[in-house]
């Protein structure tokens, strides 16, 4: 059961008032536990540096790891520990499979009453200071002790750890080649206690350039390459609102000098929509992952499959293995950053070939190396044909359905999903319906869907603006399941 949300401030033990990010009532299962090293390889490391941020360092290094392997830094959320993140996030599985070390920094109640990283405190999250400096000292230790490749260092975090991840990417783009922010905040969204709460529920309405300036100001004069950034967000997160994912997208696409219109979008397991923003060379620079209906937490998918990972617990939510997709995006699987190598391409030429009152037929071009294909209807996989055609049956007359197709190799690994196509069944002479509501309510009612922080009308895919309770539109439904914006006037019938 999801714990209820609180809205309150928490005090830092060292007499400095700060905001605890993960503002949720703690069940007994979510209570902070001692950070004893977990069985199976997590080890505490001492003496890694001067440690100005008073952090603890834990690390996992697979046996027999060669020199110059990548390094991942994984930051827990409020009320969590390094041990919990090690146990539940899925990072050890892929460290073993792909060959890299993982450092798990830990903050404690000695720093913050809820063990939150100080993403909102300039004394903790800026270059050369506090917790941020301690994390970089851990990286330097790992490079010396484990032989980690300094060109392939990545950082990821959840909630307060996600906010600190964004700040680290901004302050140390010379250290981190990539980042992944789960239910987190834009870099330097808050620089005071008063501003922190506002960031959680709705960051400032800044332009992409203004958000990007916050990154550029974190390390003035930096002219090197920027980190590649993945952004994970649940659409039903009421602790860190989805508007933060939009601000993060705006911030990092602006830093890269690319637009805010995705180069491609596709549908992944767990009702997840991925939007990809390519750099000037056509490689993914920023990716957003919007998990429909998910609350506040890190997406995991328990199981033994190649694309599954983690275990469910407080703030580890059973939807999709974000760790797998993040690792592929960074190239930890041996592919190029963005997952270009070792992954089947998206089927081309996906199109509808005909509909009846109850069926919709599709076809697409064959993908070399594909053993089968996964057909998704409205984000859910419905079939695994081996041929390049499929007929969906049992549908409702006069209704629009959205389809994507993914190629699957002989090992069962799915590639990139195709572009989305819409097929509308025939029949269905019911009169048009008009509905006026907020964007949030339209999505909840199934009249629209969210992608990358924006809302799109089902069927027509018209852009309705930001996913929130402040933007209101009238939608006209005709035929059933096909919606168009009708703000200027909507006549039912």
| Residues assigned a catalytic role | 159
Among 231, 338, 337, residue whose Cα is nearest residue 291: 231
What spatial distance separates the first Cα and last Cα of the chain, rounded to whole Å? 43
- Find tokens 């890299």 and name the residue: 100
Q: Do 326 and 284 touch, CB atoms closer than 8 A? A: no
Which of 365-403 are b and which e, b meaning 16 or more Cβ less than 10 Å from the residue's Cβ? eebeebebbbbbbbbeeeeeeeebebebeebebbbbbbb
168 phi/psi in degrees, rounded to 5 = -65, -40
Three-state DSSP state, 322:
helix
Six-digit token pair at 218? 């974190």
Class of residue 165 by CB neighbours under 10 A (exposed 0-12, middle 13-18, buried 19+): buried
Six-digit token pair at 17? 């008032």
Give one word for 306, left, alpha or beta, with left for phi > 0 and alpha for psi -120 to 50. Answer: alpha
- Find tokens 């805010």 and name the residue: 260
Sign of CA dihedral 43, 46, 19, 129: negative
Q: How many helices (H) and strands (E) does the chain have?
A: 10, 28
Q: What is the dihedral of CA 380, 386, 388, 391, to 10 degrees?
A: -50
Report DSSP state, residue 53: T
Six-digit token pair at 305? 């499959």
CA angle at 359 for the pair 356 and 362, rounded to the nearest 5°: 105
Pure H helices in 60-192: 82-88, 91-94, 122-125, 130-145, 160-171
Three-state DSSP state, 326:
helix
Q: Do 21 and 78 touch, CB atoms closer than 8 A? A: yes
Sign of CA dihedral 379, 385, 387, 393: negative
d(CA 260, CA 356): 38
276 beta partners: 264, 287
Three-state DSSP state, 343:
coil
- Find tokens 């484990």 and name the residue: 146
């Amino acid at each position: 059961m999801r714990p209820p949300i609180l809205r309150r401030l928490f005090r830092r033990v060292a007499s400095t008032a700060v905001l605890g990010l993960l503002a949720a009532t703690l069940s007994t299962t979510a209570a902070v536990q001692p950070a004893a090293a977990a069985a199976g390889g997590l080890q505490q490391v001492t003496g890694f540096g001067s440690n100005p941020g008073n952090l603890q360092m834990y690390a996992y290094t697979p046996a027999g790891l060669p020199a110059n392997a990548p390094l991942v830094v994984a930051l827990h959320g409020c009320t969590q520990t390094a041990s919990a993140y090690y146990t539940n996030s899925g990072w050890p599985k892929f460290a073993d499979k792909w060959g890299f070390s993982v450092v798990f920094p830990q903050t404690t109640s000695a720093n913050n009453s809820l063990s939150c990283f100080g993403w909102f405190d300039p004394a903790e999250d800026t270059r050369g200071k506090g917790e941020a400096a301690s994390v970089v000292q851990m990286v330097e230790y790992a490079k010396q002790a484990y032989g980690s490749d300094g060109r392939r260092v990545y950082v990821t975090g959840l909630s307060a750890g996600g906010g600190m991840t964004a700040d680290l990417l901004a302050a140390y783009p010379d250290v981190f080649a990539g980042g992944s922010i789960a239910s987190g905040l834009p870099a330097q969204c808050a620089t005071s206690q008063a501003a922190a709460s506002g960031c959680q529920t709705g960051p400032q309405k800044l332009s992409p350039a203004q958000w990007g300036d916050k990154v550029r100001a974190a390390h003035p004069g930096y002219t090197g390459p920027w980190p590649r950034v993945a952004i994970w967000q649940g659409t039903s997160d009421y602790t860190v609102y989805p508007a933060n994912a939009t601000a993060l997208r705006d911030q990092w696409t602006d830093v890269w000098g690319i637009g805010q219109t995705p180069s491609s979008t596709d549908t992944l397991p767990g009702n997840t929509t991925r939007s990809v923003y390519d750099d000037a060379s056509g490689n993914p620079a920023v990716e957003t992952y919007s998990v429909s209906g998910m609350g506040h937490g890190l997406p995991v998918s328990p199981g033994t499959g190649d694309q599954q990972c983690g275990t469910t617990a407080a703030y580890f939510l059973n939807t999709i293995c974000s760790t797998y997709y993040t690792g592929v995006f960074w190239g930890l699987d041996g592919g190029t950053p963005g997952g270009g190598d070792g992954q089947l391409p998206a089927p081309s030429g996906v199109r509808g070939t005909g509909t009846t009152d109850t069926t919709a037929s599709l076809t697409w071009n064959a993908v070399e190396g594909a053993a089968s294909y996964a057909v998704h209807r409205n984000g859910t996989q419905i079939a695994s044909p081996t041929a390049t055609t499929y007929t969906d049956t049992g549908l409702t007359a006069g209704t629009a359905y959205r389809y994507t197709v993914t190629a699957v190799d002989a090992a069962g690994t799915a590639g990139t999903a195709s572009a989305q196509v819409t097929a509308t069944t025939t029949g269905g002479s019911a009169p048009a319906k008009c509905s006026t509501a907020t964007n949030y309510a339209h999505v909840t009612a199934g009249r629209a869907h969210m992608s990358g922080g924006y809302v799109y009308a089902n069927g027509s895919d018209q852009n309705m603006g930001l996913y929130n309770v402040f933007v209101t539109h009238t939608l006209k439904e005709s035929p059933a399941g096909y919606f168009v914006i009708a703000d200027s006037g909507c006549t039912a019938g």
